[in-house]
Structure 1
Amino acid sequence: MSTESLDASGTRPDHRPGQLAMGVAAIVLSAVLAYGAANIPSDAGYAGVGPDFLPWIVSAVMAICGVMLIWEVRTGGYRNMEEPSGAARGDWHALAWVAAGILGNAALITTIGFILSCALCYLLAVRGLRISEGKPGGDTMQLVRDAVVGMLISAPTYWLFTKFLAVNLPGLTSGGWI
């Protein structure tokens, strides 16, 4: 490796500034995960593994990924990376629809139940994704179809978790089927 292509800080100038930020962000995220894992009780459960085991593994792997990303940047940036596709700027209108779906789901899940809140999330997110592709958001019939598809996806998920896995999810009725 020749040193004439390195700048004063020892990095190659052919990487984008965001590439180094991704590695640093991964390490910061791993530290946040490790902090959270440290607050989980470590009482050994089944097979001697406590509830803090998986968070520690995820934190360690995230730190390794961050170090590898930084190493990649320090040795020349992401190699053989294609130019990004899509628009040069983000579509904030589409992002607002997707964010509204996610936040609406979080806000309404205990009020209207898992199935309806997830169907609403699906409806709003799909509308935002359509807009991001430059397509129309959808007319009334499309919104009805999206709501039905959202329910067809969320209902079996709800039933699987509540009836077969015994995980309590917020429902609309006390019977547990909706």
Structure 2
Amino acid sequence: MTTPEANSENPNHRPGQLAMGIGALILAAVLAWGAMDIPSDAGYAGVGPNFLPWVISAALGLCGVMLIREVLTGGYRQMEEPSGAARGDWRALAWVSAGVLLNAALITTIGFILSCSLCFVLAVRGLRASEGKPAGDLRQTAKDAVTGMLIAAPVFWLFTQLLAVNLPGITASGWI
């Protein structure tokens, strides 16, 4: 095993490893910049609403510094070789992305439950395709839609009825 000094002269890391650490630092700085706009008036627990964003920003900055230190002292030494395909599955990514984007576009039109169910159906189709499995016929799509509704409906009811968070629904009753 070589010493960290020998590794710093002849780096044994991929450029992406350093980019991860720098990216974490940049994200921490962006979060800290956003936290400056949040009021710091202490609330019920003695901390203000900007407390958690500052904690997250500091923790992410510390992780960024530690990642960069690891890279500069020889790279990720304990990292296993990546598993999976050598190239990304763009078709599967398209299905999952379509689900997320349609959810965002339709949530105020068709309501939380139906838009999240549609997102679930499309994402599951993409994930199946990425594993090389058949994406699903009409029967499987119907099962996925029911499963999506069985997941989305309790979440909707929890947020709207118990937590009083206003989510878009289809009816004015607040139950659908």
TM, length-normalised to structure 1? 0.94
| Superposition pairs of residues 19-30 of structure 1, within 5 angstroms | 19-30=17-28
How far is the alpha carbon of 1:4 from its aligned partner? 4.0
Residue 66 (structure 1) aligns with: 64
State the identity %.
71
* Cα distance, 1:48 vs structure 2: 1.9
Residue 151, structure 1, aligned to residue 149, structure 2 = yes
Distance in 2 separating the partners of 1:162 and 1:101? 23
What is the one-letter code of the residue matched to 2:163? L
Q: What residue is the counterpart of 1:53 in the other structure?
A: 51
Instruction: Give the aligned partner of residue 78 of structure 1.
Output: 76
- Separation of aligned partners in 1, 2:8 and 2:56: 34
Instruction: Deviation per CA, 1:12-62: give whole Å up to 9, x if none.
Output: 421111100000000000011111111112222112211111111111110
**Matching of residues 1-178 of structure 1 within 5 Å:** 1=3, 3-7=5-9, 12-178=10-176
Residue 135 of structure 1 deviates from its aligned partner by: 1.1
Label 1:77 to 1:175 Cα distance change in 2 as closer, same or farther (>3 A).
Answer: same
Q: What's the secondary structure of 2:8's corresponding residue? A: coil
Matched AA of 2:46: G
- Which sections of structure 1, spanning at least 5 residues, go unmatched? none
SS in 1 for 2:45: helix
Distance 2:116 2:7 in 1: 52
Q: Distance in 2 between matches of 1:78 and 1:49?
A: 37
Amino acid paired to 1:6: S
Distance 2:11 2:127 in 1: 36
Report deviation, 1:3.
Answer: 3.7
Q: Give the letter aligned to residue 124 of structure 1.
A: L
Kindly tell me the number of residue pairs found equivalent between the two proteins.
174
One-letter code aligned to 2:129: I
1:115 maps to amino acid: I
Structure 1: how far apart are the matches of 2:71 and 2:131? 31
TM-score, normalised relative to structure 2: 0.95
SS in 1 for 2:13: coil
- After superposition, give the CA deviation of every residue in 1:118-151 in whole Å (9 maximum; x if it has no partner): 0001001000101111111111111101000000
Deviations 1:141-169 (A, max 9, x none): 11101000000000001111111111111
